[in-house]
């Protein structure tokens, strides 16, 4: 339940005192300013803070490497041979999947290419991909290159959906109408769970259902959704999804990414995929002298190519353990209040410097607010550089501000709102 907000500093402090998740802040390294005081870090939508346990986790793998060398594949504290399997349960719970539907591997865009290799196979009838017009550049590059690799023209093969003139976010009805309009020509619908620029949370189940009704595959980029909002990928019947782990999942720069493949696809060994030895049946993975045919392991694991990077996976293991302990439902409850409080404070300003371009409905956004400067000269953005609040700037006129429920506080929101409106 969202409380009735008040403007006083004491109100923010009381919310923190009553916060059942406040203990998790102490598990993260908080950057400090020149005066040694903690900065207000509202940039977890770009790079999450470091879990304190990550250092020890990496050192454990270094120690096992030092002591055991190759034998650490089977004798390490967490054996390297099966290391990716530690995410079988935690990864599934994170995104609402069944065990075996999630694998942590590669980077997000690599995983997107792997998924499109399987799920975008134009046949002359179905050959179009529906995407958002304002897609994150890496996704746009990947889709464009995949279409060209099939010998098609992106100008014809890509169906782009965009907000209506004068609006900042997509309407579900417009997306569904575009899917229905393309009908039998549509092979793949590929959209973000949370739009990176505006922070809009799309209606994943409704759009997935519309894609399936049209006979198309539904794929999702959850870079800004995983660890931010509760997901139910299995129950929503999503075909595949990909996400990174360095934003809300706090696994470090360039962290190992995630991939979901619905069990009905994971159980189908006939699906074409790019093959590599770690996706092979582990029972025959090392029988290189006699096993020359790739036999994919059941589930999302069957899309792996290379053995996992252990030193990069160690921080992710520690971060997902925190998510498992806190629970996405509890994090979401705090997130709704935390973000709502920030929006309320900003809208209370007598002469606001920014307008909120993120949906006001808490069900249609995550923990990010995107703020567009009313002064379009760029002075407002420049005035927020080098201050006590760390946010993401998108020139020429947008701030992305993300109060993360795992480590941000209500008092920080109160301070940040004052700073955003008064920064010199």
The CATH number for 168's domain is 3.40.640.10
Looking at the 3D structure of the chain, how many domains does it have?
A: 2
- Considering the domain architecture, whether residues 77 and 102 belong to the same structural domain is answered as yes
Residue 240 pairs in a beta bridge with: 219, 261
Which strand (E) or helix (H) includes residue 57? Answer: helix 53-68
- Considering the domain architecture, whether residues 233 and 381 belong to the same structural domain is answered as no
- Considering the domain architecture, whether residues 16 and 87 belong to the same structural domain is answered as no
Given 324, 358, 391, the domain boundary residue is 324
Given 324, 359, 375, the domain boundary residue is 324
Residue closest to 417 by CA, chosen among 354, 345, 353: 345
Calculate the dihedral angle through the C-alpha atoms of 12, 362, 368, 407, rounding to the nearest 10 degrees.
40
Calculate the dihedral angle through the C-alpha atoms of 214, 220, 225, 230, rounding to the nearest 10 degrees.
50
Does residue 312 lie in a domain region? yes
Which domain range does residue 410 map to? 9-30+327-422
Given 296, 324, 352, the domain boundary residue is 324
Does residue 242 lie in a domain region? yes
The whole-number pLDDT of residue 388 equals 87
- Considering the domain architecture, whether residues 84 and 166 belong to the same structural domain is answered as yes
- Considering the domain architecture, whether residues 181 and 199 belong to the same structural domain is answered as yes
Residue closest to 198 by CA, chosen among 168, 166, 172: 168
Sequence-ordered list of residues with C-beta below 8 angstroms from that of 374, at least 6 positions apart, any chain: 352, 353, 354, 355, 380
Does residue 86 lie in a domain region? yes
- Considering the domain architecture, whether residues 235 and 350 belong to the same structural domain is answered as no
Does residue 262 lie in a domain region? yes
- Considering the domain architecture, whether residues 181 and 224 belong to the same structural domain is answered as yes
- Considering the domain architecture, whether residues 65 and 135 belong to the same structural domain is answered as yes
The whole-number pLDDT of residue 48 equals 98
What is the Cα 119 distance to its own chain's centre?
20
Q: pTM of the predicted model, to two decimals?
A: 0.95
Does residue 41 lie in a domain region? no
**Residuewise pLDDT in 10s, the chain (424 residues):** 678 999 999 999 999 999 999 999 999 999 999 899 999 999 999 999 999 999 999 999 999 999 999 999 999 999 999 999 999 999 999 999 999 999 999 999 999 999 999 999 999 899 999 999 999 999 999 999 999 999 999 999 999 999 999 999 999 999 999 999 999 999 999 999 999 999 999 999 999 999 999 999 999 999 999 999 999 999 999 999 999 999 999 999 999 999 999 999 999 999 999 999 899 988 887 777 777 788 899 999 999 999 999 999 999 999 999 999 999 999 999 999 999 999 999 988 767 788 999 999 999 999 999 999 887 666 666 766 777 899 998 888 899 999 999 999 999 999 999 988 875 4
- Considering the domain architecture, whether residues 169 and 119 belong to the same structural domain is answered as yes
- Distance between CA atoms of 424 and 420, rounded to whole angstroms? 9
- Considering the domain architecture, whether residues 88 and 160 belong to the same structural domain is answered as yes
- Considering the domain architecture, whether residues 65 and 17 belong to the same structural domain is answered as no
- Considering the domain architecture, whether residues 355 and 405 belong to the same structural domain is answered as yes
CATH number where 352 lies: 3.90.1150.10
Task: Give rounded-to-5 percent helix, strand, coil for the chain.
Answer: 40, 15, 45
Residue 28 pairs in a beta bridge with: 51
Does residue 53 lie in a domain region? no
Does residue 36 lie in a domain region? no
Does residue 43 lie in a domain region? no
Sequence-ordered list of residues with C-beta below 8 angstroms from that of 161, at least 6 positions apart, any chain: 130, 131, 132, 133, 170, 174, 175, 178, 191
């Amino acid at each position: 339940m969202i409380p009735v907000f008040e403007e006083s500093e004491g109100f923010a402090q009381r919310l923190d005192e009553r916060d059942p998740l406040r203990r998790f802040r102490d598990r993260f390294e908080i950057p400090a300013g020149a005066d040694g005081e903690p900065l207000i870090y509202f940039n977890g939508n770009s790079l999450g803070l470091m879990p304190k346990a990550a250092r020890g986790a990496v050192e454990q793998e270094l120690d096992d490497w030092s002591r055991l060398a190759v034998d650490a594949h089977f004798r390490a504290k967490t054996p390297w041979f099966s290391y990716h399997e530690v995410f079988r349960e935690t990864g599934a719970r994170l995104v609402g999947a069944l065990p075996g539907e999630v694998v942590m591997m590669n980077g997000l865009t690599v995983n997107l290419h792997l998924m499109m290799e399987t799920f975008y196979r134009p046949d002359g009838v179905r050959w179009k991909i529906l995407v958002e017009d304002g897609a994150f550049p890496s996704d746009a590059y990947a889709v464009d290159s995949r279409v060209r690799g099939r010998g098609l023209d992106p100008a014809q093969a890509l169906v782009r959906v965009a907000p209506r003139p004068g609006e900042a976010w997509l309407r579900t009805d417009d997306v569904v109408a575009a899917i229905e309009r393309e009908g039998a020509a549509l092979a793949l619908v590929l959209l973000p769970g949370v739009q990176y620029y505006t922070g809009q949370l799309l209606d994943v189940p409704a759009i997935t259902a519309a894609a399936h009704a049209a006979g198309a595959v539904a794929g999702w980029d959850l870079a800004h959704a995983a660890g931010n909002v509760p997901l139910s990928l299995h129950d929503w019947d999503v075909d595949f999804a990909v996400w990174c782990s360095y934003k809300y999942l706090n696994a470090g720069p360039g962290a190992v990414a995630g991939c979901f493949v619905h069990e009905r696809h994971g159980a189908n060994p006939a699906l074409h995929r790019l093959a590599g030895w770690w996706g092979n049946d582990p029972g025959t993975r090392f029988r290189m002298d006699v096993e020359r045919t790739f036999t994919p392991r059941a589930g999302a694991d069957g899309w792996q190519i290379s053995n996992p990077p252990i030193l990069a996976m160690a921080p992710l293991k520690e971060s997902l353990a925190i998510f498992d302990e806190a629970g996405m439902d509890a994090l979401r409850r705090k997130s709704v209040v935390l973000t709502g409080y920030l929006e309320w404070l900003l809208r209370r300003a007598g002469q606001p410097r920014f307008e909120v371009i993120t949906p006001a409905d808490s069900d249609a956004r995550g923990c990010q607010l995107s703020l567009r400067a009313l002064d379009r000269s760029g002075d407002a953005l420049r005035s927020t550089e080098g201050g006590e609040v760390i946010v993401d700037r998108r020139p020429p006129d947008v701030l992305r501000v993300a109060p993360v429920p795992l480590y941000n506080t209500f008092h920080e929101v109160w301070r940040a709102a004052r700073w955003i409106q008064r920064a010199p």
